[in-house]
Amino acid sequence: MCEECRELVDPKEVKLEEVFAKYKNSKGALIPILQEAQEIYGYLPEHVLKLISQATRLPVAKIYGVATFYAQFRLTPIGRNVISMCLGTACHVRGGAKVLEAIEKEAQVKDGQTSEDGRFTLEIVNCIGACGLAPVISINSNVHGKLVAEQIPEILAQYE
């Protein structure tokens, strides 16, 4: 490949091609492919779904069907930090709603949305399995437990 052409290649697409190669002969690889594609792009843009369709020889409609069935997949871009607010039973009983309110206020986001400055995406989840420390949130997979609403501004300040 000549130097000029090299610059035209999208590095993300190169990574995606590697994922396709890895799962080339595996059965039922659609979900791991979607997971790894989302890892690369942060979400699943339409053109990526089309590329996956070409690689897996599955109709886009089917891929869309799978992507929308599972909570993990996102079809819109996300913020720099993803806040997962747990509202499972233990967190519900121990006052998770108050913590949620504080997050909505502090980060200026609602469930499923991304803040205008792109700093936070908020999602409500059912249980992250840290019930012993309810109420909990997880930000970019860091779990913060035994929360009270007053702690939220300080915690969010750690994530730029």
Partner 1 sequence: MSVEGKKQVFICAGTGCVSSGADKVVKKLEEEVKRQNLEDKIQLIPTGCRGFCEQGPTLVVEPSKKFYRQVQPEDIPEIVEKELGKGESIEKFFYVDPNTDQIVNSYEDICFFSKQTRISLHNCGFIDPTKIEDYLERGGYEGLKKALSMDPEKIIEEVKSSGLRGRGGAGFSTGLKWSLCKATPSDKKYVICNADEGDPGAFMDRGLLEGDPHSIIEGMLIGAYAIGADEGYVYVRAEYPLAIENLQIAIKQAEEKNLLGKNILGSDFSFKLHISAGAGAFVCGEETALMASIEGERGMPRVRPPFPAQKGLWGKPTNINNVETWSNIPHILRNGAEWYAQYGTEKSKGTKIFALTGKVNNTGLVEVPMGMTLREIIFEIGGGIQGGNKFKDVQIGGPSGGCLPEEMLDLAVDYETLTEAGAMVGSGGLVIMDETTCMVDIAKFFVNFSQAESCGKCTPCREGNKRMWEMLERITKGEGELEDLDKLEQLALTIKETSLCGLGQNAPNPVLATLKYFRDEFVEHIEDKKCRAGACQDLLTYRIDPDKCKRCSICARNCPVNCITGDKNTPYVIDEEACIKCGACMERCKFDAVLLV
Provide the binding-site residues for partner 1, judged by CB under 8 A: 27-32, 34-35, 65-66, 69-73, 88-94, 125-134, 136, 141-146
- Smallest distance, Å, CB 45 to partner 1? 18
Q: Could you report how far apart the first and last alpha carbons of the chain are, in Å?
A: 39
Report the residue number, 70 or 117, with the smaller CB distance to partner 1.
70
CB of 126 to partner 1, least distance (A): 5
Collect all residues with Cβ–Cβ distance below 8 Å to 82 and sequence separation of at least 6: 120, 121, 123, 139, 140
Q: Are 111 and 123 in contact (CB under 8 A)?
A: yes
Find the shortest distance in angstroms from Cβ 67 to partner 1: 9
Choose between 112 and 118: whose C-beta lies nearer to partner 1.
112
Quickly list H helices, the chain.
3-8, 11-22, 30-41, 46-56, 60-69, 89-93, 96-107, 152-157
Judged by beta carbon, residue 11 or residue 28, the one nearer partner 1 is: 28
CA distance 43 to 112: 13
What is the closest distance, in whole angstroms, from the C-beta atom of residue 66 to partner 1 in the complex?
A: 6
**C-beta of 40 vs 131, nearer to partner 1:** 131
Min dist CB 153 to partner 1, Å, is 15
Our CB check for partner 1 shows the closer of 24 and 118 to be 24
CB 158 within 8 A of CB 107: no
3-class secondary-structure state, position 91? helix
